[in-house]
Amino acid sequence: MAKKPGVQVRRVYEAADERDGIRVLVDRLWPRGLTKIQAALDEWCKDVAPSTELRKWYGHDPTKFTEFTRRYRIELGQGEQSTALQHLRDLAIDHRLTLLTGTTEPAISEAAVLADILNH
C-alpha cells in the first residue's frame, strides 16, 4: 500500500522550503507585515479557518487547546468549512501539503488540528 505524501505545519513567516510541496495558508486573517511574495503561497484557504467567534474565544490560550480542538472539529463538519476541508483532503492525496499559519505557536493552532485530521 502506497503511503500518502503527508501534511505538515509551518509558520508562514519562515522561508519556503523545496520540501514544502503545496503551501496553503489556513488563517482567516492575513498575517501582519507579510507580502504575498514573501509568503510564497500556492493558496489561501481562509474558509477552512475557525469562525471569528471561536478564534476570539480561544485566543491561542494553551489551556483551551483541547476544547478549541473539540469545537473546531464540530465546525469543520459544517458548511463552507466542510467544503474547504475536503479541498485540503483532495490536495493531500497526491502531494506533500504544508499548512501555514501566522501564529507563534503552530503546535496549538488550527493548522495543527487540520494536519492531524488530514494525516489520519
Kindly report, residue by residue over 4-28, the tens digit of the pLDDT. 679 999 999 999 999 999 999 999 9
Residue 106 falls within a domain, yes or no? yes
> What pTM value is reported for the model?
0.94
In the chain, how many domains are there? 1
Higher model confidence: residue 4 or residue 44? 44
Residue 1 falls within a domain, yes or no? no
List of residues 6+ apart from 113 with CB closer than 8 A? 68, 69, 72, 73
List of residues 6+ apart from 70 with CB closer than 8 A? none
- pLDDT tens for residues 77-118? 999 999 999 999 999 999 999 999 999 999 999 999 999 999
With residue 25 as reference, give the H or E element that holds it: strand 22-25
pLDDT at 76 over 90: yes
Domain encompassing residue 35: 7-119
Residue 107 falls within a domain, yes or no? yes
DSSP state of 16: P
Residue 2 falls within a domain, yes or no? no
In this prediction, residue 1 has a pLDDT band, given cuts at 50, 70 and 90, of very low
Q: Please give the Cα distance from 62 to 60 (Å, whole number).
A: 6
